[in-house]
Amino acid sequence: MLSQLTLCTGVIVIFFLIVYSDFVSASNVTIDKNGYIVYCPCMGRFGNQAEQFLGSLLFAKYLDRTLVLPPFVEYRNYQVIFSPFDDFFQLEPIRKYHRVIAMEDFMENIAPTIWPENERYILCYDPRRGDKDRTPGCNPFDGSPFKPFWYNFNITRFRSSVFHQPLVTQFSEAKLWKSRFKHINVLAFVGAPSAFPTNEEAIPLQKYLHYTDSIAEKAAKYRAERGFSRKPYLAIHLRHGSDWVKACSLLKENDMSQLFSSNQCTNRAGIKLNEIKLPYEVCSHSVRTIIKDIKRALTDGENTHRLEVIYVATDYNNELVWDEIHRQLPDVKLVTPTLTYHNGTITRKHSPPHYIIDTYLLAYSNYFIGNCISSFSAFASRIRLQSFRFNRTTQFFANDLLYPDQLSFKDEL
């Protein structure tokens, strides 16, 4: 009788533990009572997406909602590729500033509870005219990468569109957003709730972006394969693809004081050049300018490292430019996306690195020269300026045309 009672009691205890463990597991998913912000990072490539992430994070902070971190969108061989946010960057450092969650985690563990299909609304400022849908709406599935992005998470319909005009997605209007949309758990936006270029107040948030260990390891492996591990190097970012040159032509046709991410070099060291006309050379550099600025970096007497390598990140693998750099600087090892020049020889190596490895190597270089206008350059320069305080060793091509009397900036200690 006692043994039967003991057995029965044991079964009850085991059953209770199973139920209890399931309950605890479910309770581990914490729902933010203030709600969430979801958006499609559908403007441009990585540089633009990263730029708008900063503004979106600031917006989420002021609305006191958890920011759902979308994957980065990449275009490869005419295909849209998605890379989860936390494949590239750690989440915990960002959480020191504000609450965030990867979209993959959100869709699997939280969306089924608070964001069922019949309660999904999509927000935009005013109607977007779709190619097929003539009904005024946000048309979130119209075009690429809009449709591939939402479909990637099995989101194939929204209940309806919500127009948030006259409100804009600025943190300064946070109180109005909180009041007007307090009844919607998830604010899902067609595009990033951020200006482009991002708000100046959002730029310091770059310091919360830390690469994952995996990215650091891949970058180290790449350096080893190219033969410049533990060697001081100058990293340059060159944009001279045909689409970029076409965009730069705007500076020839118009008097412009701002273009894309130009604020990164026109608002430095407390000097604001808001009224200056941006020179075309600052956007699309001649080979003469490229080599002149490289030589200046290599002979910088205040630089504590003797730079032994020039590392090139670029949107266009122009071997004629690499040949000319090597011809004029034959004693410095030159590492380009597909070629390595060293000791009078040219070695063909592996395929170009993934763009995120480029950003890592630009950010962690001993000296950096970027493109003043480019948001890709801005991503690397902001890590250097906001996290490392590498002011003097962070420069831009044709910088002397903007600051003729101040060619460099002192490091902040």
Whether residues 279 and 184 fall in one domain:
no
Indicate whether 17 belongs to any domain: no
Whether residues 166 and 265 fall in one domain:
no
> What is the identity of the amino acid at 180?
R
Whether residues 166 and 108 fall in one domain:
yes
Indicate whether 254 belongs to any domain: yes
> What is the identity of the amino acid at 271?
I
Rounded-to-integer distance, Cα 70 and Cα 61, Å: 16
Whether residues 232 and 189 fall in one domain:
no
Domain holding 193, by residue range, is 36-200
Q: Among 200, 224, 254, give the residue marking a domain's end.
A: 200
Q: What is the CATH number of the domain that holds 62?
A: 3.40.50.11340
pLDDT in tens, 302-321: 666 789 999 999 999 999 99
Rounded-to-integer distance, Cα 204 and Cα 141, Å: 33
Residues 275 and 258 sit within 8 Å (Cβ to Cβ)? no
Q: Among 145, 179, 200, give the residue marking a domain's end.
A: 200
Indicate whether 28 belongs to any domain: no
Rounded-to-integer distance, Cα 189 and Cα 123, Å: 5
Indicate whether 11 belongs to any domain: no
Residues 362 and 230 sit within 8 Å (Cβ to Cβ)? no
Q: What is the pTM of this model?
A: 0.88
Cis upstream peptide for 404 (omega within 30°):
no
Whether residues 291 and 174 fall in one domain:
no
Whether residues 265 and 306 fall in one domain:
yes
Measured over the CA atoms of residue 349, residue 354, residue 360 and residue 366, the dihedral's sign is positive
Rounded-to-integer distance, Cα 280 and Cα 157, Å: 45
pLDDT in tens, 119-156: 999 999 999 875 555 678 999 999 889 999 999 999 99
* Secondary structure (3-state) at 82: strand
The single-letter DSSP state of residue 372 is: T
Indicate whether 413 belongs to any domain: no
**pLDDT tens, the chain, 413 aa long:** 444 444 343 433 333 333 333 333 334 678 999 999 999 999 889 999 999 999 999 999 999 999 999 999 999 888 899 999 999 999 999 999 999 999 999 999 999 999 999 999 999 999 987 555 567 899 999 988 999 999 999 999 999 999 999 999 988 899 999 999 999 999 999 999 998 988 889 999 999 999 999 999 999 999 999 999 999 999 999 999 999 999 999 998 888 888 999 988 887 645 555 567 899 999 999 999 999 999 999 998 666 678 999 999 999 999 999 999 999 999 999 999 999 999 888 888 778 999 999 999 999 999 999 999 999 999 999 999 999 999 889 999 998 888 765 544 444 33
Whether residues 132 and 228 fall in one domain:
no
Rounded-to-integer distance, Cα 341 and Cα 401, Å: 30
Whether residues 271 and 396 fall in one domain:
yes
Whether residues 187 and 216 fall in one domain:
no
Please state, as a whole number, how many other Cβ atoms lie within 10 Å of the Cβ of residue 350.
Answer: 10
pLDDT value at residue 351:
83
Tokens read off for 403: 């600051």
Residues 47 and 194 sit within 8 Å (Cβ to Cβ)? no
pLDDT value at residue 274:
59
Whether residues 244 and 172 fall in one domain:
no
Whether residues 62 and 177 fall in one domain:
yes
Beta strands at 186-189 and 36-39: parallel, antiparallel or unpaired: parallel
Indicate whether 20 belongs to any domain: no
Q: What is the CATH number of the domain that holds 371?
A: 3.40.50.11350
pLDDT value at residue 271:
54
pLDDT value at residue 405:
57
- For residue 284, give the nearest of 321, 247, 313 by alpha carbon: 247
User: How many structural domains comprise the chain?
Assistant: 2
Whether residues 182 and 216 fall in one domain:
no
Rounded-to-integer distance, Cα 229 and Cα 11, Å: 61
pLDDT value at residue 249:
93
Q: Among 200, 233, 263, give the residue marking a domain's end.
A: 200
